[in-house]
Each structure stands twice: as structure tokens, then as C-alpha cells.
């Protein structure tokens, strides 16, 4: 008679034998089981650390499943890679990319503590949430939503950035710097794989010096992460096509799914990946297994956030309605911008033209940059549009198709179908493709000259490109570090917050800012968290001062400067000060009452 343990042991033996015969299916089953367990824990307790652990475990199991039979590294492989790397051309190629990446990093990180000279309220709000995570005072699940319904995973990355680089604006913004710089080698790998070294070098130089890309790599918002994620998905699919690797298809799916944790516009990335995957399947470069792995990877990556959306659907729908072009409010708003009546087709046509002008001579209509500063220089514009034409001439080549699908889906979902176009944060996913088209054109031009003309013509063309590179660099540098420095809007928030931070130990803050500015503004709270700030909705509310160990500073916006007369009449012994922007326009005024002046007054 068998003991009760023997049937269980036999079942385990049978399962183990099946798993050894079918390792892919076994690891996939394990990934799904672990993921389901994590979702159950997450539903019962959104703050469960075990749920996060199981989610990560399911992703690891899926990566292992897709790498079965693929990953094999021997000492012979290592020695072959080393010999290839130290060959002359490869070393020069590496040094060139390293130099351009270093240039891009320098342009993005230099003087990060005081440039850009503004800080948007969204940066402050996100920074406050990240600080709460870092300090342990803000219990947040990485799989939920918070400020303006943005997914909270991004704030955990910002908290990690501040843990390494400081709990200030530098630490907060460094995450975007790193993510923006990372796009430089990624774009090179994509262009090198599809179009050669020259296309890669030209593309990444244009990206490295682009003032638009530099600016958004210096802001502590989640747009540059979505742009880099879109680039990474296209790169992984291109590499999967070249290598025939199921692991790369899985990594592409994980990236596409994980990108949803960043900006709302990231929802275009799975669509970009899906369209390209179908293209590869029709080319017979991707098998049914690869499509399954891509979809399953995306599902496992995003499933915890989808669970949150199922239980909290209204914030997601409200945000979509807020920006969707054809919501009733936005239809009326857009018709007002058009200056008259029109059909939905007229609105679409108008939106398309405005968004295309973004890639010609328009600025950024969002509140994060400048409307009157063209986002692309003339050289980049010419290279982009000619490169786009070359790709459209042969759209079914995979390299061309990848760039076209990437650009047009990002343009349509991020620009044409959203309000207040052209909006750079929403269009940022399409921006690396602009530089890729430019690199494509230059590579084709050199190839044509090589076939038709003597080598001297290539030397002349190389000299012209060198001059063009100098021109592109100078225009972008001047636009960002000279013109924008002079025109930068919104300086009042960061300038005022820094003064509040300096004076927080010795003074209480009374703010006469309503209805334009309140003490709860995100930048004031993030930069000067320890300052005692009080809103003076009416000046009379803040005139009953008491002596103490701290003095008082009144911060007064220009719209309420007349009320300073009332304060001065009550407390004539104060010190008056002013803060100006780069055009000499008044940002705000201050009226300082040191502690001794209050003590003397009361005495």
C-alpha cells in the first residue's frame, strides 16, 4: 500500500520531467502563476512589498523563459569580442560615440542647480511626492496614480535619483538628465544597425545638441523617459529582426509595457511596437512565439497598474477627456483658436498642419518652454524632411518602416488628436525619429557621391557637413543658453522659492499672491519645505503681527503691490526689496521686518 506522500512525489516527478522537456512552457507558466499571486496580494494590500517582489519575479521568469537555448557565452566568445573591440575602426567608432555622448551630457548637466531659470509647478508637485517616498512620510504604491493621475512608479525613480544626487532640484532633475543622455547611444545603435556608421553619427550629433531635447532632459517631469522608451522599443525590435532572438522580442514587450508607467503619451509605444511586430511577422522575421512573448511581456509589466485602473477608472477617463481633441469642451476650444466654425474634418486638417509646422518653424505651445522659439534649426529641418521623403519613397523596407511608424503614430496620438497643439511634451516621443531621418539622408547622400563622383567630392561634402554641424551646434546653443535665458517665463516661482529657503530660519513668510500664486504652489513647497508660509488672501488678515524669535517677510506679487502701502502704514520700519527677471520686469517685491523691529514695535 502506497503512503500518502508517494502520489504527491510522483506528481512532482512527472511535472519535473515535463518541465525539462518543455522549458519554455514551464517558465511561462511559472511567470503567470507568480504574477497572479502578486496581483492577489496587491488587491488586498496596495502597499504590499511582497506584491512588488512577485511582480519582479514574474518578469525575471519570463526573461529566463525567452532566453532558453539562446544565451551562451564562452571564453571563445569573450576573446573574439575583445579582439574585435580593440581593432582600429571599432575603437575609433567607440571614441566618437563616447565624445558625442559626453557632449550631450555636458549640455544637459552643466549648471543644473540654477538652469533652466524656471521651475514648473508640476516639477515641484512630483518632487514633493518623491521626497515623501524618500523620507518615508508618503505611503505610495508604485502601481497607483497620484498628481494629475500620473502613474506613481516615476516618483520612485525620482526618489532614487535624489538619494544619490541630493534632495534638491539637482537630484530631482538628474533622472531626466541620465534618461535623456541614454538616448544618444541607443539612437546610434539603432541607426548603425539599419543604415551604417555615418547615419548613426549624424543622428546622435543632432540629438545631442538639440535645444529641445536638452531642455526636456533638464526638467523633472516624465516626458523624456517616454521618448527614450519609444526609442528603446524600436531598437530592440530592429535587433530582434537582425538576430532572430526571442529574448529581444521579450525585452521589447517589457519596455513597451513598462513605458506606461511614465507620461500618458507612452500609450502610443505599445501600438508602435505592435505595428512593427506585425510587419516583422509578415516579413517572416518573427514567429508566432515571438508575438506571444511580446504581448505576454507587455501584460506582465503593466498588469499591476491595469489592476489599479480597473478599480479607479474615473481619473483615467477624466484625464483622457481633458486632452482628447474631440471632447465637447476641446471642440469648442479648438474652433475658437481657428477663429470660426468648422467640421471635425476641418479641425483635423488644422491640427495636422499645426503639428507639422512644429517640425518646420513653430515653437512649443505648452507651458514648459517657449512658443516663439522654433524647436528645430534650419539645418535639422532640411535634413529631416529630405530624409522623410527618402523613407516614403521605399516605405516597406524595415528600416524606413520603423522610422515612419514611430514618427507618425507618435505625431498622431501625441499631437493631432490632442488639444492645444503643438505641445512638445506630447510630441517628444517623435523627436529622436526626426534626427534619425536626418542621419538617413546624409548616409544616402554620401553613398551616392561615392558611386557617382571621385573621392574629392566626398571630401568637399564632409567639409560641408562639418560646417553644417558647427552651424547646428551654435544655433541650438544660442537658442537655449542665450535666447531662452533672456526670455524664460515663470521665473517668479523658483526665484521666490529660493529666497524663501534662504530666509526660512530667521523669518516667517506672508505671501500676498492670491489669486495668482498661493503658498501651496508645488515649487514653493518643494524648494522651501521648512519655510513657514501663510497666504494673505486679504492684506488685513496679515497685519496682526506678534514679537518672537523670527521676523516677517511679506512677498508681494506685482498685481497686489498697491497693498504694500497699507503694510507700510502699519509697520513703517521695514526694508523694501525687489526681484526682477532678465528683461527688467518686476517679479515680486518684499517687505522685511527683522525680529528686533517687531519687538521694538510691540514694546
Q: Which of 487, 521, 547 is the last residue of a domain?
A: 487
Closest CA to 240 of 196, 273, 201, 267: 273
Same domain, 461 and 572: no
Q: Is 401 helix (H, G, I), strand (E, B) or coil?
A: helix
Q: Is the dihedral of CA 514, 515, 517, 522 positive or negative?
A: positive
Q: Which parts of the chain sit beneath pLDDT 70?
A: 1-22, 69, 71-88, 454-458, 600-603
Q: Would you state the torsion angle of the CA atoms of residues 24, 30, 36, 42, taken in this order, to the nearest 10 degrees? A: -120
pLDDT, residue 410, reads 97
Residue 478 CB contacts under 8 Å (≥ 6 apart), including other chains:
none
Q: In what order do the strands lie in the sheet with 507-512?
A: 533-535, 507-512, 551-556, 586-593, 575-580
Residue 157 inside a domain? The answer is yes
Nine-digit cell at 176?
531626466
Residue 63 CB contacts under 8 Å (≥ 6 apart), including other chains:
247, 250, 251, 254
pLDDT in tens, 193-215: 999 999 999 999 999 999 999 99
pLDDT, residue 317, reads 78
Other CB atoms within a 10 A radius of the CB of residue 540 amount to 11
Residue 72 inside a domain? The answer is no
Contact 528, 572 (CB under 8 A): no
Same domain, 259 and 282: yes
Cis peptide bond prior to 391, omega within 30° of 0: no
Q: Is 582 helix (H, G, I), strand (E, B) or coil?
A: coil
Residue 248 inside a domain? The answer is yes
Residue 6 CB contacts under 8 Å (≥ 6 apart), including other chains:
none
Pairwise CA distance, residues 270 & 255, whole Å: 9
Contact 387, 439 (CB under 8 A): yes
Cis peptide bond prior to 422, omega within 30° of 0: yes
- Residues 77-100 as b or e (16 or more Cβ within 10 Å = b): eeeeeeeeeeeeeeeebeebbeeb
Pairwise CA distance, residues 114 & 363, whole Å: 23
Same domain, 182 and 227: yes
Residue 238 inside a domain? The answer is yes
DSSP letters along 284-336, please?
TSS-HHHHHHHHHHHHHHHHHHHHHHHHSHHHHHHHHHHHBTTSHHHHHHHHH
Q: In angstroms, how far apart are the furthest CA atoms of the chain?
A: 103
Pairwise CA distance, residues 348 & 411, whole Å: 13
Closest CA to 220 of 342, 356, 113: 113
**Total number of domains constituting the chain:** 3
Same domain, 396 and 520: no
- Residues 156-175 as b or e (16 or more Cβ within 10 Å = b): bbbbebbeebebebbbbbbb
pTM for the full predicted model = 0.93
Q: What are the distances in angstroms from CA 310 to CA 30, 89, 317, 337, 431?
A: 24, 53, 11, 36, 32
The domain in which residue 47 lies consists of 19-67
Closest CA to 290 of 306, 273, 305: 273
Same domain, 57 and 193: no
pLDDT, residue 599, reads 72
Residue 581 inside a domain? The answer is yes
Same domain, 391 and 434: yes
Pairwise CA distance, residues 13 & 19, whole Å: 10
Q: What are the distances in angstroms from CA 126 to CA 132, 535, 563?
A: 10, 22, 33
Same domain, 508 and 481: no
pLDDT, residue 1, reads 47
Residue 437 inside a domain? The answer is yes
Same domain, 508 and 455: no
Same domain, 468 and 548: no
Contact 482, 526 (CB under 8 A): no
Pairwise CA distance, residues 252 & 249, whole Å: 5
pLDDT, residue 455, reads 66
Closest CA to 180 of 236, 234, 221, 133: 221
Residue 282 inside a domain? The answer is yes
pLDDT, residue 84, reads 64
Same domain, 153 and 55: no
Pairwise CA distance, residues 363 & 358, whole Å: 6
Nine-digit cell at 574?
521695514
Q: Is the dihedral of CA 494, 421, 476, 259 positive or negative?
A: positive
Q: Which of 453, 487, 521 is the last residue of a domain?
A: 487
Same domain, 481 and 526: no
Pairwise CA distance, residues 117 & 488, whole Å: 7
User: First and final CA of the chain: distance in angstroms?
Assistant: 100
pLDDT, residue 52, reads 95
Helix and strand element counts for the chain (H, E): 27, 5
Length of the chain, please?
603
Residue 9 inside a domain? The answer is no
Same domain, 146 and 209: yes
Q: Which of 459, 487, 515 is the last residue of a domain?
A: 487
Amino acid at each position: 500500500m502506497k503512503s500518502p506522500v508517494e502520489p504527491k512525489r510522483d506528481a512532482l516527478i512527472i511535472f519535473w520531467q515535463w518541465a525539462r522537456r518543455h522549458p519554455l512552457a514551464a517558465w511561462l507558466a511559472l511567470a503567470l502563476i507568480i504574477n497572479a499571486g502578486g496581483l492577489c496580494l496587491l488587491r488586498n494590500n496596495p502597499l504590499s512589498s511582497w506584491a512588488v517582489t512577485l511582480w519582479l519575479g514574474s518578469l525575471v521568469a519570463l526573461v529566463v523563459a525567452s532566453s532558453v537555448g539562446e544565451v551562451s557565452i564562452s571564453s571563445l566568445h569573450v576573446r573574439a569580442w575583445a579582439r574585435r573591440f580593440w581593432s582600429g575602426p571599432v575603437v575609433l567608432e567607440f571614441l566618437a560615440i563616447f565624445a558625442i555622448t559626453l557632449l550631450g551630457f555636458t549640455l544637459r548637466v552643466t549648471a543644473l542647480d540654477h538652469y533652466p531659470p524656471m521651475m514648473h509647478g508640476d516639477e515641484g508637485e512630483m518632487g514633493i511626492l518623491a521626497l515623501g517616498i524618500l523620507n518615508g512620510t508618503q505611503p505610495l504604491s508604485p502601481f497607483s496614480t497620484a498628481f494629475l493621475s500620473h502613474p506613481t512608479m516615476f516618483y520612485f525613480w525620482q526618489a532614487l535619483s535624489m538619494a544619490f544626487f541630493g534632495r534638491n532640484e539637482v537630484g530631482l532633475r538628474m533622472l531626466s538628465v541620465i534618461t535623456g543622455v541614454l538616448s544618444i547611444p541607443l539612437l546610434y545603435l539603432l541607426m548603425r544597425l539599419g543604415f551604417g556608421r555615418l547615419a548613426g553619427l549624424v543622428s546622435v550629433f543632432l540629438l545631442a545638441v538639440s535645444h529641445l531635447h536638452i531642455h526636456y532632459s533638464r526638467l523633472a517631469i516624465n516626458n523624456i523617459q517616454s521618448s527614450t522608451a519609444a526609442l528603446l522599443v524600436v531598437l530592440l525590435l530592429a535587433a530582434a529582426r537582425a538576430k532572430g532572438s526571442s529574448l529581444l522580442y521579450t525585452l521589447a514587450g517589457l519596455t513597451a509595457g513598462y513605458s506606461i508607467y511614465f507620461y500618458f503619451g507612452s500609450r502610443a509605444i505599445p501600438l508602435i511596437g505592435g505595428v512593427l511586430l506585425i510587419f516583422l511577422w509578415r516579413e517572416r522575421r518573427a514567429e508566432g512565439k515571438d508575438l506571444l512573448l511580446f504581448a505576454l511581456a507587455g501584460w506582465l509589466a503593466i498588469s499591476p497598474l491595469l489592476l489599479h485602473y480597473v478599480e479607479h477608472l474615473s481619473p483615467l477617463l477624466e484625464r483622457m477627456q481633458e486632452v482628447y481633441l474631440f471632447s465637447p469642451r476641446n471642440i469648442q476650444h479648438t474652433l475658437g483658436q481657428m477663429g470660426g466654425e468648422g467640421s471635425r474634418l476641418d479641425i483635423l486638417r488644422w491640427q495636422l498642419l499645426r503639428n507639422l509646422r512644429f517640425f518646420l518653424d513653430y515653437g512649443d505651445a505648452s507651458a514648459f518652454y517657449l512658443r516663439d522659439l522654433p524647436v528645430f534649426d534650419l539645418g535639422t529641418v532640411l535634413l529631416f524632411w529630405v530624409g522623410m521623403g527618402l523613407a516614403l519613397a521605399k516605405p516597406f523596407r524595415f528600416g524606413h518602416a520603423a522610422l515612419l511608424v514611430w514618427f507618425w503614430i507618435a505625431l498622431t496620438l501625441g499631437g493631432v488628436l490632442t488639444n492645444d497643439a503643438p505641445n512638445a511634451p506630447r510630441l517628444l516621443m517623435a523627436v529622436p525619429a526626426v534626427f534619425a531621418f536626418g542621419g538617413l539622408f546624409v548616409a544616402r547622400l554620401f553613398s551616392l557621391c561615392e558611386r557617382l563622383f571621385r573621392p574629392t567630392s566626398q571630401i568637399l561634402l564632409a567639409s560641408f557637413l562639418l560646417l553644417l554641424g558647427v552651424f547646428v551646434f551654435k544655433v541650438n546653443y544660442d537658442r537655449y543658453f542665450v535666447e531662452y535665458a533672456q526670455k524664460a517665463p515663470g521665473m517668479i516661482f523658483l526665484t521666490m522659492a529660493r529666497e524663501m529657503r534662504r530666509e526660512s530660519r530667521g523669518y516667517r513668510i506672508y505671501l500676498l499672491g492670491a489669486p495668482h500664486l498661493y503658498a501651496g504652489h508645488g515649487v514653493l513647497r518643494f524648494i522651501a519645505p521648512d519655510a513657514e508660509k501663510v497666504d494673505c488672501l486679504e492684506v488685513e488678515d496679515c497685519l496682526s503681527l506678534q514679537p518672537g524669535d523670527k521676523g516677517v517677510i511679506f512677498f508681494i506679487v506685482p498685481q497686489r503691490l498697491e497693498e504694500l502701502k497699507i503694510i507700510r502704514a502699519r509697520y513703517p520700519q521695514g526694508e523694501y526689496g525687489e526681484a526682477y527677471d532678465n528683461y527688467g520686469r518686476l517679479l515680486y517685491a518684499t517687505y522685511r521686518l527683522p525680529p528686533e523691529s517687531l519687538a521694538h514695535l510691540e514694546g
